[in-house]
Amino acid sequence: MTDTPADDLKPSFRSDVTVELVKHTASDADVLFAARVSTVGEQSLDELNKDPERSKGLINFLMRDRHGSPFEHNSMTFFISAPIFVFREFMRHRVGWCIAGDTEITLESEGGHLRRRTIAELHKLWHMGVEDRLPHSAGGVTWHSRAGKWMAQVRRGGTNHYLGLYENREAAESAVVEFREQHPSTRLRTLESVRRNHVRCYDEETLLAQRARIVDVIQSGVKPLIKVTTATGRTLRCTVDHAVFTPEGWRKAGELAVGDAVMAAGTAPRPSQALVPPSLRRGIGVWTAMQRQRLIKETDACHLCGQDFPREQLALDHVVPVAGDLTRALDEKNLAPACEPCHTAKSADEQALAQRGGKIAKAVPDVITAIEDNGEEMTYDLSVEGPWHNFLANGIVVHNSYNEESGRYRELQPVFYVPDESRKLVQEGRPGKYRFVEGTQAQQELVGQVMEDSYREAYEAYQQMLAAGVAREVARSVLPVGLFSSMYATCNARSLMHFLGLRTQHELARVPSFPQREIEMVGERMEAEWAKLMPLTYAAFNANGRVAP
């Protein structure tokens, strides 16, 4: 899918950021009722109707002694517009929405085959690669003419290891194998195939299964967890803020109760369908044949058997059969190369699909039977492409924690960041002990001129590619990180305090921080909104050195 770019879009420049509080359930009373449940049980709910000022000493005690969980029973959602490089730093603070490392993520191949990996395994493969135990040491077996025997030797780590002379080749090869088993060669490789993984996700309107590409796998630090158990035996171990899909929409895990339902992987009867009329099938076949030259490479792989074939031995196959979903019959993304035997066999079954019915993958309700605290451990999260930012965690539909404007699905607007005179430009001192100082007037003018010129050139190149029919997801590659983007960020007070402790400078901070100014601007605006909602908690945060509990 491509765009026709607008003719009247001209670059504009900003030096500020936008932060708006769009919704919240956050007050000091939320901290008090959560803290008192351990001593008075359900009577703690009475705190919601009392003046929190009467109990500010308790809030200060919780902050001072770092009892963190009472500060998690609230929620704030911010709309943020800032340069892209700010969001790349922001992603490191996705502290509220996390799941345990042993959670199994459902992956889906292009052909619809499912497999599962734990999110901890995905994180290791994504960032560290896989262990390759295939020997990469040189050497082996050669014939020693003067001795009249087979010589075994291995070169490893720059050193030749002589293993001896043997009467026959088999004995010499056995000596090499034994040496390599005793001295295994292990190396880490990051496989590109791992970066192409897709997860099973669900259309939040029809509840039907879809695929979404993984964008990133994040390790989010040690966090307190709860364990949600359902009637079918599924369990989800996550933080209280992680969003879970329910029949009523998205809800925080900490807001769920026994008897509520979550949406989980399931099936539903396939709707009855008529056979595709022959005339319509012929028309679809003609259109598909017209795409063949463009969509199939000279040598390409069959998506069904995985073998490579020349183009003349391949046809375009509808991955989701025409009889299975007629709306995708003219969707290029639903077309993939298939060899003649595979395509013939699949096509023969396609018309019968409508007659035999069967099941379709669909999200279905699963009732919660238990919710309990589950200790603290390392947590992880995924970021997946839209439009449906969700995935299956142990069979339960959960949300990824980061929703940013997508350059894949819309034309990006030409708004760029240029710092104003208040931004200090010059770094002095060595790493770890540097500071920023004011720039000269000449430096200010140079920064503004060079940035604006490069932004205009980059956006013009972006527009040229769109006008030439290049896909948005490809054309966006030329755009710089100074481009403004927007996102929604949801957090609780505890996670916000962690963020502020690291990304803002303050005279009351016990631990010094040296944030980049642009993300500090975002933090300052978030802090101002939070201070109005929870003034007693905010005062305790400052009084205790701005260290999150």
* Tokens coding 208: 């039907």
357 φψ region: left (φ > 0), alpha (ψ -120 to 50), beta (else) = left
User: What CA–CA distance (Å, rounded) separates 397 from 271?
Assistant: 23
Is residue 101 helix, strand or coil? coil
| Strand-strand pairing, 130-132 and 187-189 | antiparallel
* Tokens coding 317: 């196959």
Residues 6+ apart with CB under 8 A from 250: 243, 244, 399
User: What CA–CA distance (Å, rounded) separates 98 from 91?
Assistant: 13
Cα separations (Å) of 447 from 82, 113, 399, 417?
Answer: 19, 52, 40, 11
* Tokens coding 398: 């959960």
Tell me the CB-side half-sphere exposure of residue 524, using CA atoms within 13 A: 13
Partners of 228 in beta bridges: 236, 371
Burial class (CB in 10 A: 0-12, 13-18, 19+), 456: middle
Q: Is 503 a catalytic residue?
A: yes
Please give, one letter per residue, the 3-state secondary structure of 259-277.
CCEEEEEEEEECCCCCCCC
- The one catalytic residue among 94, 200, 472, 503: 503
Partners of 383 in beta bridges: 216
Asked if residue 417 lies in contact with residue 84, where contact means CB atoms within 8 angstroms, the answer is no
Q: Which residue numbers are catalytic?
A: 503
